[in-house]
Amino acid sequence: AQTVTQSQPEMSVQEAETVTLSCTYDTSESDYYLFWYKQPPSRQMILVIRQEAYKQQNATENRFSVNFQKAAKSFSLKISDSQLGDAAMYFCAYRSANSNYQLIWGAGTKLIIKP
Amino acid sequence: EAGVAQSPRYKIIEKRQSVAFWCNPISGHATLYWYQQILGQGPKLLIQFQNNGVVDDSQLPKDRFSAERLKGVDSTLKIQPAKLEDSAVYLCASSFLQGQNEKLFFGSGTQLSVL
């Protein structure tokens, strides 16, 4: 069975600085998708970024980028120029591309932005 | 475009009582999910509907939890009777296209406290 691990329960960063959130996963599949979701205090999960495993190029969305290391089964999220609005829980998630499209979630990392 | 609507936002009940949550997905979204998110954990899938049919309810505690999606639109999730360990946020999500290119849209959840 697939698993997703986020080893950092909490991270803090100074406003305008860069922070990296870690995520590792375990799977025997070669084709899958990885996601980072943001959950602010409003509780609504918001998709931040998505990576297809077959793509070597790391996904980017404005200030958010990932470092996808397929062999190491690592999928970290880098947030550049951190803003106060980035403060939230961040969840890493995995989904098979072949069958059973359910998301497998990590336990989350709480990101604190220091003004 | 209206988002996924959930109500109530908060609910406090005593153990052994019953409770129901309501979800109205985005118009046209055939797939609907109910997740349970215990504090400090990622979401756990309880049940997945495709239109008004159940796709997966393998993790739904069927002795106390039930869900329905009449007419393939709104959905209700019921707990009867509630236990202390049911205290969690219950998230509803919907998607237009289930499968590899699926994008989930989440509601703001119902926070349940069982005393």
Tens of pLDDT, residues B63-84: 999 999 988 899 999 999 999 9
Q: In this complex, do A101 and B102 lie within 8 Å of one another by their Cβ atoms?
A: yes
CA-nearest of B31, B83, B29, B41 to B61 is: B83
Give the tens place of pLDDT for each residue, A63-114.
Answer: 999 999 999 999 999 999 999 999 999 999 999 887 666 889 999 999 999 9
> Would you state the pLDDT for residue B98?
64
Burial of B87 (0-12, 13-18, 19+ CB in 10 A): middle
Give the tens place of pLDDT for each residue, B84-95.
Answer: 999 999 999 999
Collapsing DSSP to helix, strand or coil, A85 comes out as helix
> Would you state the pLDDT for residue A2?
87
> Would you state the pLDDT for residue A99?
63
> Would you state the pLDDT for residue A38?
97
Query: B99 or A3: which carries more pLDDT confidence?
Result: A3
Confidence check: pLDDT of B16 > 90: yes
Supply the mean pLDDT for chain B.
93
**How far is A79 from A10, CA to CA, in rounded Å?**
15
> Would you state the pLDDT for residue A97?
81
Confidence check: pLDDT of B2 > 90: no
> Would you state the pLDDT for residue B99?
65
Rounded to whole angstroms, the maximal C-alpha distance in chain A is 44
> Nearest 5°: phi and psi at B71?
60, 15
Radius of gyration of chain A (CA): 14
**What average pLDDT does the segment B46-74 reach?**
92
Yes or no: say if B28 and B18 are a contact pair by the CB < 8 Å rule.
Answer: no
For A36, nearest residue in chain B (alpha carbons): B42
Residues of B contacting chain A (CB within 8 angstroms): 3, 40-45, 48, 56, 89, 91, 93, 98-100, 102-104, 106-109, 111
